[in-house]
Chain A
Amino acid sequence: MNVKTYFSKLLHRFTRYFRLLFLFAKFSLMAQAEYRLNFFSGVTVECGYLLVKLSYVAVVTMAGVNIGGLSPDEIVIFIGTYILMTGIYMVVYPSFSSLSQKVREGSLDMLIVKPVSLQFMLSFQNIDFSMLIPNAAAGIILIVTGWYQAGLPVTLVSVSGFILFLLSGVFLTYSLFLLPHLLCFWLVSNRGIAEITAAVWDFNNMPQLIYGKWMQRLGTFILPVFIITNFPGLFLLDRLTPFLLFWGLAAPVLFFILCRLVFSRAVKHYTSAGG
């Protein structure tokens, strides 16, 4: 097969999956529009969590001191990014969390036989937009406010770099946070693991610079949760070394490969019990 044919097939596959993603999103939205009260309940639940996150903003601004070398306005950018990314993560979270039930009850059988990637189906079948709305709104408002108040320049490089690291964070979130949910293929109940995963995610509630050096290294290189919400802000503040710039873009690729490998192994443990 020549290179041209290979890329043409790859493009065709990519387009097919993109259309499928669009269809999943459309069907999820239609289902949510049917049960509107549930949709608004989702929004209110997320508003409750938002209250917790905003209490950190209140504490930081009321303290009025520089924390970890960052002014309160700069910290607001980091918290805003964290809130926005939480909203994006929550779009696929219902799919992730329902994985355990599908494995336990054997309802994966129907999905395995479909001519589409199983991982893709499991990741995007239940998309939820209700939790995205309040988080995206609050996150964007905080980022814009913090950016403006901190007097940071609005240039093509700063905006595009910020968005690039946001996208890199989205890809990393997918791979890194799907991994713990895959443990459900080995364990009967993973409620506790889901709680720990959520708690690890919440480390991003504050900029990584407030933590100790070893924690920062751990959260950047071993379990790179800090990349997700810290790197866009750090890029903006010109605090990323060339190596960190490279790592920020390479980590999502590496963890996606790891996620694919673990998923392939995990599916082999599926016993179709109860199906």
Chain B
Amino acid sequence: MNKYRCIFQMGLEYALEYRFDFLFSMISCIFPIIIQFFLWSAIYLQPGASIDNGYTYEQMILYTLTAGFVSKLVIGGFEYEINEDIKNGGLNKYLIRPVHYMRYYFFSFLGKKVPSAVILLSAVAITTGVAGIALKTAISPVHILFFLVSLVLALILNFCLMFCIAMYSFWVTDVSKLFGTISIVLVVLSGGVFPMDLFGNVVRTVSHILPFCYTTQFPTDILTGRLSQNAIVSGIAIQLLWIVLLVFIGSLLWKKGLKRFISAGG
């Protein structure tokens, strides 16, 4: 376990290497939140407007303020490194080391997320706190606790999801551009831009079955106070179920993919 602690620390140090980049990247996630804040305010506060989309104005503002940060926190990024490892033969060094490849990236991923988590969770606490006072809506401590639990699970779930997608590199040599497309589509499907529940019953039903919305929309919905305790517990159970399933699929793809690995360039 000691080696994985070192990998975790390495990830943490790596994330802090380019501090300006890190700071600017954190600031950049505020801009879409501002756009959506104005958009929803303009829609809901229109005189005579009666918006029936399952969200009250207060819930939508809380969702907007939180989803952008949550989406930024859970997002992957390591898939490009895996693609490079497989494409250029850098995977060799991991194969001869006494580390498990998936666990190596998992702990490195967690380490890289620590600085983002501290800043983004502080931002969530400040913005939702201020919004709560301004909109006169209180977030209960139970919901905050459930939010934190579901957020940790969302982080793990997104890692598993991206690891499975990264395994595609064994079959296609260079998929780096494809990862870009997949990441953006996943942000949309996870509710990182708008809640998927807005887009009709069919989209809502499908999105609640698939794992994507459990990475962003579900934790965010908990904080907005939109979900009942039963819905929260069943949502957390679904998160756990998807994690187990994706770990299994990821391991299977790793074993199958490794047989195709030709160590080109290594």
Which residues of A pack against B, CB within 8 Å?
A: 38, 41-42, 44-45, 47-49, 51-52, 55-56, 58-59, 62-63, 65-68, 187-193, 195-196, 198-200, 202-203, 205-206, 210-212, 215
Contact = CB atoms under 8 A, between A and B. Distances in A.
Interface stretch (B27-35, B130-138, B223-231): B27-35
Nearest to A53: B193
A199 B28 contact: yes
B28 A196 contact: yes
Contacts of B42: 67-68, 210
B187 interface: yes
Given A51-B188, A192-B23, 5 more contacts: A41-B178, A44-B181, A65-B49, A67-B43, A210-B38
Nearest to B189: A51
B39 A67 contact: yes
Given A196-B28, A200-B31, A210-B42, A48 B184 contact: yes
A203 B35 contact: yes
B266 interface: no
A189 B18 contact: yes
A44 B38 contact: no
A40 to B, nearest CB: 9
A52 B22 CA distance: 24
Interface of B: 18, 20-25, 27-32, 34-35, 38-39, 42-43, 46, 49, 51, 53, 177-178, 180-185, 187-188, 193-194, 198-199
17 contacts: A38-B177, A44-B181, A45-B177, A45-B184, A52-B193, A55-B188, A55-B193, A59-B198, A63-B51, A67-B39, A67-B43, A67-B46, A190-B21, A199-B30, A202-B32, A203-B31, A210-B39
A67 to B, nearest CB: 4
A206 B199 contact: no
Nearest to A59: B194
Contacts of A215: 38
A128 to B, nearest CB: 12
